[in-house]
């Protein structure tokens, strides 16, 4: 099916030969893109209003052509939509990762430090050893200036919990001293925190993460109720507010907090050493000095000589931010390359199909050139066709990308954040692809010799 062509009055006919006179170059230029306009000058010196009318006319013809070649247009739209869908998911996921990184840093706290046993930067996971002791915690509490809270912690992973017929494999059970929630700036949704009395008595009480509370108790309040943890009965003292995913993708709400002494007595964990120390300070402005003083104190307590590496790791909000920035940088590069590749594939599909379209529409192009259409008119029409397809593909791709992002977010694979940046980037990318990849086919069509094109390229 061919798109309708504009017609023009026939050229004057030579009475002797009966053949149409060919207009000279000057008359063609004066006639503008289309001949047969009753001698009006619509060329390069035409008014702005006329130029707008001419552009609107070319636009209408371009859209008519796209409708005439519906299947081919659908292929281009699909190719661009897939690329833009990928770009949409990538931008939403990247923005979500940025927001999540800021939340993680804020949750860590600018006034706190986390000390891990062993130097995790120089040792493999299987080689890490416990190096933090009760004496370390006591000396830090007594000797380090500005210390507000010191909370030793131990952990067990993948522990079974049950309440009635409800069962749940808890990702982590953390043993801690009193004020765990306060030390992590983690408020309670209901109930109370673990107290010093709970720790002294080795009480079987606990704090539940939001996910565990919902899995075991549903929508009812779990405070004061008893359940089994590794077949040991525990009473719920409180429930932590939800925090969602961690930096590594783990669920922060899939945890249970119990007194550290209870964990040592009931779960058979190491009694002399523990995994980590959470320290909170009164003055967040002196954190650099606090890190230096803490490192010096621990090296002295552990008998580490000058020049020897630490057998512990100190993490601050600054270190966490650096680590997350490094991850975000790598993620940005990888996702950027992925998005660019997906969009370029759509661009190559568009270019190839437009070259094919030019070959099939040679007679149409030749006839229009013979009737007075100049190169700019031909190029403009093909570019309008290309940009129209890519913009339609972008709109379709945005909706596909948003649906994919929501699905992945519900599965817990990524965290997304929607913003107007998604729409602006998608439409700008689609327009650029249409102009860049549609230009060469458009110029190829415009450069055709009218006589050769009318003969079908023979």
* pLDDT, tens only, 387-411: 888 898 899 999 998 888 888 777 7
pLDDT band at 67 (very low <50, low <70, confident <90, very high): low
Pair (361, 387) in one structural domain: yes
Summarize the confidence of residues 39-60 as an average pLDDT.
Answer: 54
Domain presence at residue 122:
no
Average pLDDT over every residue of 304-329: 85
11 in any annotated domain: no
**Are 296 and 349 contained in the same domain?**
no
Give the separation between CA 116 and CA 112, rounded to whole angstroms.
Answer: 13
Residue 181, domain extent: 130-310
Amino acid 122: pLDDT: 54
Give the model's confidence band at 60: pLDDT under 50 very low, under 70 low, under 90 confident, else very high: low
Burial (CB count <10 Å: 0-12, 13-18, 19+), residue 182? middle
199 and 294 in one domain? yes
Domain boundary among 279, 310, 341: 310
Is residue 335 in a domain?
A: yes
Assess whether 141 and 68 both reside in one domain: no
Residue 9: inside a domain = no
Query: Per-residue b/e over 415-424, b at no fewer than 16 CB within 10 Å?
Result: bbbeeeebee
Is pLDDT of 235 > 90? yes
Phi, psi of 222 (to 5 degrees): -90, -10
- Domain termination residue (choose one: 264, 283, 310): 310
Residues 241 and 331 in one domain: no
The pLDDT > 70 percentage for the chain reads 80
Whether 342 shows a pLDDT value over 60: the answer reads yes
Question: How large is the average pLDDT for residues 237-248?
Answer: 81
pLDDT at residue 129 tops 80: no
Residue 446 shares a structural domain with residue 335 = yes
Write out pLDDT tens, residues 162-217. Answer: 999 999 999 999 999 988 998 998 999 999 999 999 999 999 999 999 999 999 99
pLDDT for 284: 83
Q: Are residues 77 and 221 in the same domain?
A: no
401 within some domain: yes
Query: Average per-residue pLDDT in the chain?
Result: 79
In a domain, 115, yes or no: no
For residues 141 and 259, membership in a common domain is answered with: yes
Same domain, 297 and 174: yes
Share of the chain above pLDDT 90, in %: 30
Question: Domain tally for the chain?
Answer: 2
The DSSP letter of residue 208 is E
Q: Are residues 389 and 254 in the same domain?
A: no
Q: What's the rounded mean pLDDT across residues 75-82?
A: 84
Question: What value, to the nearest 5°, has the Cα angle with vertex 400 and ends 395 and 406?
Answer: 130
- Residue 43: pLDDT over 60: no
Looking at the fold, whether 291 and 353 belong to one and the same domain comes out as no
Q: Does 208 share its domain with 240?
A: yes
Q: Residue 149: what pLDDT?
A: 92
pLDDT at 28 over 70: no
Q: Rounded mean pLDDT of 274-280?
A: 91
pLDDT reported for residue 245: 67
Residue 119 inside a domain? The answer is: no
How high is the pLDDT of residue 36? 39
Q: Which helix or strand (DSSP H or E) is residue 277 part of?
A: strand 276-281
DSSP 57-126: HHHHHHHHHHHHTHHHHHHHHHHHHHHHHHHHHHHHHHHHHHHHHHHHHHHH-TTEEEEEES-TTTS-GG
In a domain, residue 238? The reply is yes
User: Where does a domain end: 256, 281, 310?
Assistant: 310
């Amino acid at each position: 099916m061919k798109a309708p062509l504009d017609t023009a009055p026939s050229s004057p006919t030579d009475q002797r030969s009966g053949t149409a006179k060919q207009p000279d170059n000057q008359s063609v230029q004066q006639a503008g893109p289309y001949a047969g306009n009753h001698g009006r000058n619509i060329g390069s010196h035409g008014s702005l209003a006329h130029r707008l009318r001419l552009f609107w006319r070319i636009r209408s013809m371009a859209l008519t052509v796209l409708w005439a070649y519906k299947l081919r247009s659908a292929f281009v739209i699909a190719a661009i939509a897939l690329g833009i869908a990928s770009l949409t998911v990538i931008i939403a996921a990247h923005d979500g990762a940025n927001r999540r990184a800021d939340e993680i840093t804020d949750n860590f706290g600018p006034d706190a430090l986390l000390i891990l046993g062993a130097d995790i930067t120089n040792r493999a996971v299987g080689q890490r050893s416990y190096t933090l002791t009760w004496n370390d915690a006591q000396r830090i509490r007594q000797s380090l200036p500005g210390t507000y809270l010191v909370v030793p912690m131990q952990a067990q992973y993948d522990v079974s919990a049950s309440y009635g017929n409800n069962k749940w494999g808890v990702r982590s059970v953390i043993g801690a001293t009193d004020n765990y929630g306060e030390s992590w700036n983690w408020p309670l949704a209901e109930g109370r925190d673990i107290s010093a009395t709970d720790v002294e008595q080795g009480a079987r009480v606990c704090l539940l993460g939001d996910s565990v509370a919902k899995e075991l108790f549903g929508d009812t309040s779990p405070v004061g109720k008893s359940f089994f943890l590794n077949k040991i009965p525990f009473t719920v003292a409180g429930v932590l507010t939800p925090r969602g995913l961690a930096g590594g993708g783990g669920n922060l709400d899939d945890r249970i907090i119990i007194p550290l002494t209870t964990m040592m007595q009931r779960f058979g964990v190491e009694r002399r050493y523990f995994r980590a120390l959470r320290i909170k300070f009164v003055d967040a402005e002196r954190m650099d000095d606090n890190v230096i003083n803490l490192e010096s104190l621990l090296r002295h307590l552990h008998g580490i000589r000058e020049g020897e590496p630490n057998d512990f790791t100190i993490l601050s909000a600054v270190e966490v931010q650096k680590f997350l920035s490094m991850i975000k940088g790598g993620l940005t590069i990888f996702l950027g390359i992925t998005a660019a590749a997906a969009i370029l594939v759509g661009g190559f599909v568009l270019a190839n199909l437009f070259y094919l379209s030019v070959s099939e529409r040679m007679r149409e192009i030749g006839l229009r050139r013979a009737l007075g259409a100049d190169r700019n008119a031909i190029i403009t029409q093909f570019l309008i066709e290309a940009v129209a397809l890519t913009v339609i593909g972008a709109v379709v791709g945005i909706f596909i990308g948003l649906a994919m992002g929501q699905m992945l977010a519900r599965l817990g694979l990524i965290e997304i954040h929607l913003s107007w940046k998604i729409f602006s980037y998608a439409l700008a990318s689609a327009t650029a692809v249409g102009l860049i990849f549609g230009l060469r086919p458009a110029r190829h069509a415009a450069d055709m010799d009218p006589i050769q094109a009318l003969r079908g390229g023979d």
